[in-house]
Amino acid sequence: MTKNKFWKSTFILLIGGFLTKLIGLFIKIIYTRNLGIEGISLFSLITPTYSLLISLANFNMLVSVSKRISSNINSKKVIINSCYIMFILNTILISIIFIFAKYISNNLLKEPNAYYPLLACTLSLPFISIGYIIKGYFYGKQNMTPHMVSNVLEQLFRLLIISLILPKITIYGHIISVTIFILFNIFSESFSILIFLFFLPKNKKITKQDLHFDYKETKEILSISIPSISGRLLGNIGFFLEPILLTNLLTYKGLSINYITKEYGIYNAYAISTLLFPSFFITAISNALLPEISKYNANHNIKEIKRRIKESLTISLIIGLLCTSIIFIFKRPILNILYNTNEGINYISILAPFFILYYLESPLNSILIGLNAIKKCTIISTLGIIIKLLTLTILSLLNFKIYSLIISEIINILFITINEFILLKKLIFSNNI
To which H or E segment does residue 236 belong?
Answer: helix 215-252
Nearest Cα residue to 3 out of 307, 428, 368: 307
Distances from the Cα of 229 to the Cαs of 90, 280, 295, 376, 409, in angstroms? 16, 21, 21, 13, 21
pLDDT reported for residue 392: 94
Alpha-carbon torsion (158, 101, 132, 211), positive or negative: negative
pLDDT reported for residue 103: 93
Residue 255 phi, psi (nearest 5): -85, 150
Would you say 32 and 68 are in contact if contact means Cβ atoms under 8 Å apart? no
Tell me if the pTM is above 0.75.
Answer: no
To which H or E segment does residue 403 belong?
Answer: helix 403-430
Q: How far is CA 421 from the centre of its chain?
A: 21
Would you say 277 and 351 are in contact if contact means Cβ atoms under 8 Å apart? no
Distances from the Cα of 426 to the Cαs of 144, 422, 433, in angstroms? 32, 6, 10
pLDDT in tens, the chain (433 residues): 445 566 666 677 677 777 887 888 888 888 888 888 888 889 988 988 998 898 888 888 887 888 788 766 667 888 888 888 899 999 999 999 999 999 999 888 888 999 999 999 999 999 999 988 888 888 787 777 887 888 889 989 999 999 999 999 988 888 999 999 999 999 999 999 999 888 887 766 666 666 777 778 888 888 878 776 766 777 788 888 888 899 899 998 988 888 888 898 899 888 998 898 877 777 777 777 777 777 777 777 788 888 888 888 888 888 889 989 999 999 999 998 888 888 899 999 999 999 888 888 888 888 888 887 878 888 888 899 899 999 999 999 998 999 999 999 999 999 999 999 999 888 877 665 5
- Phi-psi sector, 344: left (phi>0), alpha (psi -120 to 50), beta: left
Read off the amino acid at residue 107.
N
Nearest Cα residue to 363 out of 297, 283, 433, 302: 283
Residue span of the structural domain in which 368 resides: 2-430
| Number of structural domains in the chain | 1
Distances from the Cα of 150 to the Cαs of 16, 135, 153, 157, in angstroms? 9, 10, 5, 10
127 HSE (CA, 13 A, CB side): 19
Q: Mind giving me the DSSP string for 138-178?
A: HHHTT--HHHHHHHHHHHHHHHHHHHHHHHHHGGG-HHHHH
